[in-house]
Amino acid sequence: MKRVICSPGSYLQGQGELSRLAEYYQTLGRQGAYLIVSRSAYAVWKDRIDGGFRSAGIPYEVHLFGGECCQSEIDKHLRQIGNRDVVLGVGGGKVLDTAKAAAHFARKPVIIAPTIASTDAPCSRVAVLYTEQGAFSHYLSLSSNPNMVVVDTLAVAQAPVRFLMAGVGDALATCYEAEAAARSGAVTMAGGCSTRAALALAQLCRDTLLRYGRQAKADAERGTVTDAVENVVESNTYLSGVGFESGGLAAAHAIHNGLTVLGETHKLLHGEKVAFGTLVQLVLERRDAEDILKIITFCRDCGLPTTLEELGLAHAGDERLMQAASASCAPEETMGNMPFPVTPEDVLSAMKRADQIAQLAGMLKRG
């Protein structure tokens, strides 16, 4: 089986990068830029975004995001895009996916500029499409990864810290899932077996988070960009982005997807549910209690949910938890990338075991 790794053409990260988008545009296009920007990002960062294009004298249009990454929103942009030769997406996950999808259908290059670091999706060549009502529709496989991903760490640090920490939850899973997928020889989203490179990035991602995650939380709470914040943003966005796409997903994301069948979890962010999925995966792997406790303590310090109660599932009962466990083992789920067979019964008991250890960790901390 061939080994495959893919990544964005380039990745840039630093304070104030939103004001340099025009500069980056010029490396890809000449006819003018087509920007899709979230309302909230534009409200805060309008001067930086517009200022760069104005001072460089580059034609550009800003189109505010309609609120959902759905086919009708993508079609609207395709009708308006005309001879603008590069698409830029600025904002959160759905805006970025809309920009990726519009560029894909229009066969134009795309620059992705996340203003939060809550998931590892920006670097990938996948867009998640929803219905107009906001229900999951399908994954759209794109012809390539974004040409450029540009992260303004000043914007990320000034967004609510919960987003950054959810990104830590999403990124912490990457290494454990990539290791499992490598052991089972799974085919990743990149279309081949894992590479030593992807695995190394995933491991660096975990080590960086464990080392700098707590400090990054404290710094971002003050809205300041420090080395810790930069390191965590790079881990959440790039290391985890390449790590998951080319390293492979496994139990943690399958359990996340399973949890979404329970309405109580809908108020949680993606990475918050993935964090619990990681704990369950560690139990399924029969890791030492000490190792699991270390990860639980880290998650707790980052404000990530570690117990069923924190997921809103204190009173869910076995029958409903079993629905989530069964959904996580559906044939299309990445549970099949684990190096051993996993049944819904295994998942249910691992969920309860993870919850018990986390409750114990909470009592130790209080005691």
The smaller minimum CB distance to Zn ion, of residues 89 and 271, is found at 271
Alpha helix (H) residue ranges in 185-269: 196-221, 227-234, 240-247, 251-259
Shortest distance, position 174 Cβ to Zn ion, whole Å:
8
The yes-or-no answer on residue 256 being catalytic is yes
- Listed as own residue / partner, the contacts of 314-317 with beta carbons closer than 8 Å and 24 or more positions apart are 316/262, 316/264
Which candidate in 170, 219, 346, 355 is catalytic? 170
Stretch that binds Zn ion, among 5-13, 124-132, 168-176, 191-199 (CB under 5 A): 168-176
Residue nearest to Zn ion according to CB distances in the complex: 170
The smaller minimum CB distance to Zn ion, of residues 170 and 230, is found at 170
The yes-or-no answer on residue 77 being catalytic is no
The smaller minimum CB distance to Zn ion, of residues 170 and 272, is found at 170
Shortest distance, position 170 Cβ to Zn ion, whole Å:
4
Stretch that binds Zn ion, among 15-23, 166-174, 287-295, 349-357 (CB under 5 A): 166-174
263 CB burial (10 A radius; 0-12, 13-18, 19+): exposed
Site for Zn ion in 97-156 (CB under 5 A): none
Stretch that binds Zn ion, among 125-133, 162-170, 222-230, 304-312 (CB under 5 A): 162-170
Rounded Cα gap, residues 323 and 332, in angstroms: 16
The yes-or-no answer on residue 253 being catalytic is yes
Side-chain half-sphere exposure of 183, counting CA atoms within 13 A: 13
Tokens 């920006």 -> residue: 122
Which candidate in 97, 270, 346, 355 is catalytic? 270
Rounded Cα gap, residues 195 and 110, in angstroms: 26
List the structure tokens of 260: 């979404």
Collapsing DSSP states into helix, strand and coil, what is residue 314? coil
How would you classify the pairing of strands 126-130 and 110-114? unpaired
Applying CB under 5 A, which of residues 170, 179, 219, 355 lies at the interface with Zn ion?
Answer: 170
Give the phi and the psi of residue 62 in degrees, each rounded to 5.
-105, 125
Stretch that binds Zn ion, among 163-171, 178-186, 231-239, 315-323 (CB under 5 A): 163-171
**Which residues of the chain form contacts with Zn ion (CB under 5 A)?**
170
Instruction: Give the active site residues.
Output: 170, 253, 256, 270
